Structure 1
Amino acid sequence: MMKLLTDILVLLVALEFCFIFYLESVRTSSARTASVFGMEEGELKRPSVDLLFKNQGVYNLVIALMLILGAFVFHSPLVVALFLANIIVVAAYGAISSSPRIFPMQAGLAVIAAICLAIGKAV
């Protein structure tokens, strides 16, 4: 039962990071992206910001893909744990360096998934 819950949470985290990729790399200067990231649409249309967002989006897509591969292809709790830890550390840095609201938004599901993964391995 714990494995199923963990798999569902990992899938949700991966989908969240696919959505972030979509916002950052496909809908870079949309009103939705501006709202999610607390920025002005005009700022997102600047070529340098547009390029940075698209690049960051690809990193988020890779994280999503690695979570999916780790959980559902390689069945590797270690790979999943490493990528969940990556998400949590980066979100903590973002919370410290930018805005505390980043942590629960970016790492909330990842923290819950990591806890379930740890409990599942301990049982």
Structure 2
Amino acid sequence: MGLIIKAMGILVALEFMFIMYLETFATTSQQTGKTFHMTKNDLTNSNVQLLLKNQGIYNGLIGMAILYAVFVSKNMSELLLGIMMYIILVALYGTISSKNISIFFKQASLAVILLVLLLLSWSRL
């Protein structure tokens, strides 16, 4: 079970690193516009770019925290549990505030799976 949890953690981290890439480095790309349902005009707005880049740094830090939990921490499960709950809550907030349920599935699906795996692994102890 530990190997599966590590693999899922890495997948969630990669997802958040990809989001960081879109928001911070590929701010005006077609993929960024498609992912966030924004027009090219929206993406070239300097205020929007600043907000995206700032949000991208936060997403990158979430990815880095997950990688730290998986590869460095002696309390991997505990850290992953907290981070996954945070991701799920943020995805719920995004879904409710935007009235767009797809946000939850895009942002939290892997986190929910990992959270369930973590809880199942704890129940076996």
TM over 0.5: yes
Q: If the TM-score is normalised by the length of the shorter chain, which range does it land in?
A: over 0.9
Give the TM-score taking structure 1 as reference length: 0.96
What CA RMSD, in Å, does the superposition of the two structures yield over aligned residues?
Answer: 0.7
CA shift for structure 1 position 75 = 3.3
Which amino acid is 1:82 matched to? G
Q: How is 1:82-121 mapped onto 2 (pairs within 5 angstroms)?
A: 82-98=82-98, 99-121=100-122
Instruction: Name the CA distance, whole Å, in 1 between partners of 2:69 and 2:123.
Output: 19
Stretches of structure 1 that go unaligned for 5 or more consecutive residues are none
Aligned to 1:20: 19
Helix, strand or coil at the partner of 2:74: coil
Which amino acid is 2:33 matched to? A
CA shift for structure 1 position 111 = 0.2
Asked if the contact 1:3–1:117 (Cα under 8 Å) also holds between the matched residues in 2, the reply is no
Q: How is 1:1-123 mapped onto 2 (pairs within 5 angstroms)?
A: 2-76=1-75, 77-98=77-98, 99-123=100-124
Instruction: Name the CA distance, whole Å, in 2 between partners of 1:104 and 1:5.
Output: 21
CA shift for structure 1 position 72 = 1.6
Instruction: Name the CA distance, whole Å, in 1 between partners of 2:13 and 2:114.
Output: 11
Poorly superposed stretches of 4+, deviation over 2 Å: none
Instruction: Name the CA distance, whole Å, in 1 between partners of 2:20 and 2:34.
Output: 15
Aligned residues, how many? 122
Stretches of structure 2 that go unaligned for 5 or more consecutive residues are none
Deviations, residues 8-41 of structure 1 (Å, cap 9, x unaligned): 1110000000000000000001111000111101
Helix, strand or coil at the partner of 2:42: helix
